[in-house]
Amino acid sequence: MTEQREDRRISRRTIAKGAAWAIPAVPLVVATPAYASSGGGPTGVFIDACKQPGASCRNDFGFIKGYTFTFSITNPTAETIYIYPTINNVDNPDSANPADRLNPLFSLVSNPAKNFSYETARKFVGGAIGVPLQPAEPILPGQTIQIIINAGVNGNSSNISGAGSVYIAYGHTPVIGADRDHPYVPVPPANPAGEGWLRIPIAFASTPPCGTDCAPGGDTSETGP
């Protein structure tokens, strides 16, 4: 009789242990698809940097006197990704939070030292400057796009060298700030970048003048004002 009672106690403990392990398994199974559905983020590569010495590129493309940086951005996932190159979401009527500022951020150390601030961004297609990026620019699954970003530095565009990072906000919805998988924290600069931010490392030995067409790869004999 004693052995039978002992067997029953062991059996109950075993059942209880099995139930305890089973409880947390339910939310894990439910939560996983929510994260997996986003498919991850984009990848980016720095291509080139040049200086915008005059005002002609402002008239044609909105580039202020300063610098432009060219990047290649790829969507390696099965979901459409949106990048948000807008100086203020108030420009985007579909924004979930118009007060958010998800414009590209610069974290660069240059020689001579400069403070870089985002101005505008355009597509870069076939070696030519294209149309302005949309406030939520789509990148289709497997697609690669090239973009050119203009950065101002208090009206100065001397030849410089530099290294650091540029951070570009992204998500999986055209409504900026509405992607619950990407809360855009921690605020850049950070290494690694917070969720919802694409970090692209940058390093350049000089910033020759941009070409007469305002694109990178210009004649190095150009000096500009």
The answer for 149, left when phi > 0, alpha when psi is -120 to 50, beta otherwise, is beta
Tokens representing 152?
Answer: 């101002």
Tokens representing 24?
Answer: 């947390």
Give me the pLDDT at residue 23, please.
37
Give me the pLDDT at residue 154, please.
66
Give me the pLDDT at residue 27, please.
36
Dihedral (CA of 135, 49, 195, 40) sign: positive
**Domains of the chain by residue range:** 2-33, 42-204
Tokens representing 157?
Answer: 């565009």
Give the pLDDT confidence of 164-200 residue by residue, as tens digits: 999 999 999 988 778 878 777 877 888 888 888 999 9
Give me the pLDDT at residue 180, please.
79
Low-confidence ranges of the chain (pLDDT < 50): 1-37, 89, 91-92, 220-225
Rounded distance between C-alpha atoms, residue 106 and residue 121, angstroms: 13
Q: Using omega within 30 degrees of 0 as the cis cutoff, is the peptide bond preceding 132 cis? A: no
Give me the pLDDT at residue 131, please.
92
Tokens representing 217?
Answer: 């790869």
Rounded distance between C-alpha atoms, residue 114 and residue 160, angstroms: 9
Give me the pLDDT at residue 201, please.
96
Distance of CA 87 to the CA centre of its chain: 14
pTM: 0.75
Contact call for residues 194 and 187 (beta carbons, < 8 A): yes
Give me the pLDDT at residue 95, please.
52
CA angle 48, 54, 56 (to 5 degrees): 95
Give me the pLDDT at residue 88, please.
52
Give me the pLDDT at residue 97, please.
56
Nearest to 173 by CA among 138, 134, 141: 138
Name the phi and psi angles at 202, rounded to 5: -130, 140
Give me the pLDDT at residue 137, please.
94
